[in-house]
Amino acid sequence: MLYLDTKEYEEYRKFRWLKRLISNKQLTEATELLSKFEGSVLSKQLFIRQFISFVKIKINGEMSDEETINALHKVIRMSKPKYEECKVAGYRLTSNEISALIEIASRYFSNRQESKAIVLTQAIIESRDRIRASEEDKAIFLPALMSNLSTMLGKVGRYKESLHYCNRAVDISREYNNFRLVPLLLYNAATSHYLLGEEKCVYKTEIIRAYHCAYAMGQYDVAKMIKKSAKAELGFIIRDA
């Protein structure tokens, strides 16, 4: 940052904004900004070229899961030529590499390779102390990683482990002052408590908190989903916020 001139700093701001669009899944806006950013001064740097390659894959809606995974492995090998998935926990990962690995894990899971997705996500979390990323990036990645892992574990019936990562994710969200995922985490926790056969007072309290948190944060679609799920799956009605 200290060595950027005025033009480079403007390009850096575009880079940060593009990262935010991708994080928020605003792919149409990301596509428009990418066309302006791709020929930037900063794009000569390996880190930025790698990021651009990742974004192109992310916004490409025509690639199969297998094609996407292979392409993302090539993106990671731009900075780690000898990359091996079994060694992820020991790597010092950059934000680009983490983004690619999160997407790979997601594709594994949707392609019925649940165990590979879970092991990979756990490995990224284990590398936390060695991550080479800004605090801003960590505030985005770490809660998301643990939220993803809790969801995966819940979907394969590993409810105690899911609950463990829900609690860790809430703690990480507090640590980094990033509460965007808290409503879904509370919902995951409530569902895990319910499926573990715990008392109604435990999961009812958490799912009501999840609903009101989502509503207060303006996540109305999430609030609607939680309210509908509470009635259909858990057997009680949440009053309107």
Model pLDDT for residues 182-238, shown as the tens digit of each residue: 999 999 999 999 999 988 888 888 899 999 999 999 999 999 999 998 888 877 788
- The residue among 232, 231, 210 whose CA lies nearest residue 219 is 210
Q: Residue 3: pLDDT band by 50, 70, 90 thresholds?
A: low
Q: Where are the domains of the chain?
A: 158-241
- pLDDT single digits (tens) 69-112: 999 999 999 999 999 999 999 999 999 999 999 999 999 999 99
The secondary structure of 114-148 as a DSSP string is HHHHHHHHHHHHHTGGG-BS-HHHHHHHHHHHHHH
Question: How many angstroms separate the Cα of 190 from the Cα of each of 78, 96, 118, 177, 222?
Answer: 41, 33, 21, 22, 15
pLDDT of amino acid 4:
66
Residue identified by tokens 């900075």 is 79
Give, rounded to a whole angstrom, the gap between the first and last alpha carbons of the chain. Answer: 44
Residue 94 three-state SS: strand
* Residues 34-43 pLDDT 10s: 887 777 777 7
- pLDDT tens digits for 22-63? 877 788 888 888 887 777 777 788 888 999 899 989 888 788
**144/173 Cα distance (integer angstroms):** 9
